[in-house]
Amino acid sequence: MKEDKMSKLTYSVCCCFKRKFKFRESEAPAEIKSLFQDYSENGVMTVEHLQRFLQEVQGEEKVSLEEAESFMEAIIKDIKHLHMLHRKVLHLEGFFRYLFSDVVNYPLISINKEHQDMTAPLSHYFIYTSHNSYLTGNQISSDSSDEPIIKALEKGVRVIELDMWPNSTKDNVDIYHGRTLTAPVDLIKCLRSIRKHAFVASEYPVILTLEDHLTPDLQAKVAEMVTSTFGDVLFCSESDVLSEFPSPESLKRRIIISTKPPKEYLQTKSSKEKPQVEDDTEKVKKSSEEAVWGKEVPNIADQLKSNIEVQSDSEYYEEEDGHSLQNAAPQYKSLIAIQARKRKGSMKECLRVDPDSVTRISLGEEKFEKAVLSHGPDLIRFTQRNLLRIFPKAMRLDSSNYNPLIGWLHGAQMVALNMQGHGRYLWLMQGLFRANGGCGYVKKPDILQQIGPHKEVFDPNRVLPVRKTLKVKVYMGEGWHLDFHSTHFDKYSPPDFYVKVGIAGVAVDSKVKKTKIIEDNWIPNWDQEFEFPLTIPQLALLRIEVHEYDMSEKDDFGGQTCLPVWELRKGIRAIPLYDQKGEKYKSVKLLMRFDFV
């Protein structure tokens, strides 16, 4: 008798388990079915119907019948597995699959072709910039390698940083994070990988920012390696001083060197300054990243700071005299197309704009944040003509990041982030540079380049009138059952998904909203709409995250993306999602609708 009861109980549990994990095919939401009825006849959508749908719903008012026919062919090619598509028509299932295809129904103006004006000076663009590009992990004990450089270039990064140090025998050049336990990699290996992969993702210029810790003879060796490796691809300026930066268009498929001139750098090193990890890093200390939508990545400072090895630069320069400073590696100096300027005097003096020449300066994260408070307008005026690079503070030993928006809102072109880690700040970076076809250069909005009659410039903190309202509707999501194991989110039932939708931009525009939780469903259907009033839409990023609700523990991560608002296409769009490192999932995506009012 007990055995019979136990058998029935086991059977019941098994049936319940199977029932809950039984997968159902996705079905078009009611609104999509209604739209298909409106733009079809007798259950069939023709090219003419599709043209009208594209014009009236998708906001593509100028699409011609010929373009609609070409688009129909692309749709049918993408969803050719549907056997009903024997001619140029769509049935409901085909229409639904088309809407859910991020190949033909992507959310941005362009996914692989730049469309902005690329003929303005470099200072008019945000540039995809990495920090300590050669590190494989944390900033203290990870290996240096050309692999992270290759990965960065393949993702469209256009500014690569190399820290150059003499090798152990001081007869060659290594790349590693100085005064740490990071293992070195040969400079020549990095240069060859850069040459090979520089233009895989984009034809626009790659800028190498060099941290130079070399003697004149090694600088000469660097010049030889750079010249022989890059050849005609290397851009060299005809003048030591540029009156204006060239444009990305004029520098297509060119590699550019940017660093301080040797004389200035060596004079700095020969002084009795306090040793630094970077241009202006401070003493390593414990701190935490500003939390946005959750807790930051655990900081490993306590685990690693006892291993920091600090050594003075003086051993590399103690034998140099004034004569060698004056004649430091002229062939090396001639390769520096974008000269970086040493910060001298007050911040006001540092940000002085020279009407006859342009330059690049670097500010550490903390110094920049202080400058924002005390010299905000000066920062924007400076970046209208000159280049500003911002880099993470020294305590970010775990390769965490700071909020890049602070830099972009003040015109900084080279906001350098650690590409080795992950997190919401890196997602913002990835989101911004999805704009302009992912070419690594995004033109700054006009408001950052304008100057008033009284020299007034854009103020990110000033509350302006709402220019437009973004309406976002979250219909549904699918693909988790293909990209995740059936028990990834919950061992005993399907996941309970919800979506966070928000804006990252100027303070008054930044806000977050959340959908309801859909329980026990691999294909959740939220069907919820949100509105976001925007005062500066041209500096706003739409943030989307999917989480799986967990009552007893931290909610599980289910995907994310970040999209530039100014490039969103009106209408119903398929939104591909990415993992925490920014890698695109094969199948996970959302169906959403965008409109501007």
Q: What is the DSSP letter of 130?
A: B
Element (H, E) at 330: helix 330-333
Instruction: Quickly count helices (H) and strands (E) in the chain.
Output: 18, 20
Of the candidates 317, 487, 300, 302, which has an alpha carbon nearest to the alpha carbon of residue 399?
Answer: 300
CA dist 454 to 75, 195, 381, 437, 450, Å?
A: 54, 46, 13, 36, 12
d(Cα 304, Cα 286) in Å, to the nearest integer?
11
Return the amino acid letter for 261.
Answer: P
Provide the token pair at 32: 């999509």
Residue 20 tokens, joined: 């809950």
Tokens representing 278?
A: 């970077």
Distance CA 590, CA 270 (A): 58
Question: What secondary structure does DSSP assign to 441-495, as a single string?
Answer: EEEPPGGGT---TTS----TTS-----EEEEEEEEEEE-HHHHS-TTSS-SSS--
| Sequence-ordered list of residues with C-beta below 8 angstroms from that of 190, at least 6 positions apart, any chain | 134, 146, 149, 162, 175
Rounded Cα distance, 328 and 322, in Å: 10
Q: Which residues are tagged catalytic?
A: 131, 177
The pair of structure tokens assigned to 428 is 């913002």
